Amino acid sequence: MNALPAPPSKTRATVWSIVAGLVLLACIVFLDVDWAALFGLPRSSWEYGVLMFSDPTWEKLPRALFETWRSISMAWLGAIGCVVCSIPLGMLAARGVGPTWLRMILRGIFAVIRAVPEVIIALILLTVTGLTPFTGALALGIAGIGTQGKWVYETIESLNDDASEAVAAAGGGKVAVLRWALWPAALPTLMSFALYRFELNIRMSAVLGLVGAGGIGSMLSNYTNFREWGTVGMLLIVVIVATMLVDLVSGAIRRRIMEGSRARGLVRSR
């Protein structure tokens, strides 16, 4: 009669659970959480919600729409600049495309950029470009290169090697493989990522406005400081509606790009 196998050891999982619990406890202790204020948060949120949304001030809606358009323009310009820079750099950072030394340098640059929040980049740029929406667009473009570049080289590395091997077998070099095998296969995914970056920039443009980069965020910050809650409520409604509309349109385009590419692949396979 064969002996039953020994049950798997749970020592490692137990140790990691204890470590995670200790880290959580340390975070709570060092953050000095005011539990009384935390428990009173629902009541305070309700009170401010009533102040903002019971009677929104619609007189400033035209200016709010104009500032929203500036935020969308800022997000779009940042996304375009990010994509233009990150696609060639990300391709050179992919394994099998760029040399090892260049790949390591580019990946290190992407990691450093990802480690710096957009707000910090905007604050640094403010000393050079001033309090303008261009500062916000530039900050969004630079900050997006780190993430977008990583998406690009991961997409290139995840592609099937069949097309690349076919081009190489036909006598094509690295440039030909990149142009005729990797680029057509990666294009739908890269376009989807570019649109997703635009969606992220829409949200971040409102945050950058809080530090003086212009757009609806600056308007929201100003009226919050003056405690004009009716206007703040109207601005929040505009921000939410505009963000949802952009998400719907961008999401529909992204789905069309991805589903269209799959449909073409099925037709060719038949």
Mean local confidence (pLDDT), 189-209: 85
C-alpha radius of gyration, the chain, whole number:
25
The rounded Cα 132 to chain-centroid distance in angstroms is 22
Q: Is the pLDDT of residue 131 over 80?
A: no
Confidence of residue 111 (pLDDT cuts 50, 70, 90): very high
Q: What is the pLDDT of residue 270?
A: 52
In eight-state DSSP terms, residue 33 is -
Q: What is the pLDDT of residue 161?
A: 76
Confidence of residue 263 (pLDDT cuts 50, 70, 90): very low
Confidence of residue 18 (pLDDT cuts 50, 70, 90): very high
Amino acid identity for residue 106 in this structure: L
The whole-angstrom separation of Cα 125 and Cα 39 is 39
Confidence of residue 2 (pLDDT cuts 50, 70, 90): low
What's the pTM value of the predicted model, to 2 decimals? 0.76
User: Please, what is the average pLDDT of the chain?
Assistant: 83
Mean local confidence (pLDDT), 223-229: 88
Q: Is the pLDDT of residue 221 over 70?
A: yes
Sign of CA dihedral 109, 111, 116, 118: positive
Domain at 59-269, CATH homologous superfamily:
MetI-like (1.10.3720.10)
Mean local confidence (pLDDT), 126-151: 86
The whole-angstrom separation of Cα 153 and Cα 156 is 5
Query: In this predicted structure, which of 76-80, 88-92, 201-205 has the lowest mean pLDDT?
Result: 201-205
Q: Is the pLDDT of residue 267 over 70?
A: no
Amino acid identity for residue 193 in this structure: F
Mean local confidence (pLDDT), 65-78: 90
Q: What is the pLDDT of residue 260?
A: 66
Could you tell me which of 219, 266, 270 has the C-alpha nearest to residue 242? 219
Mean local confidence (pLDDT), 113-123: 88
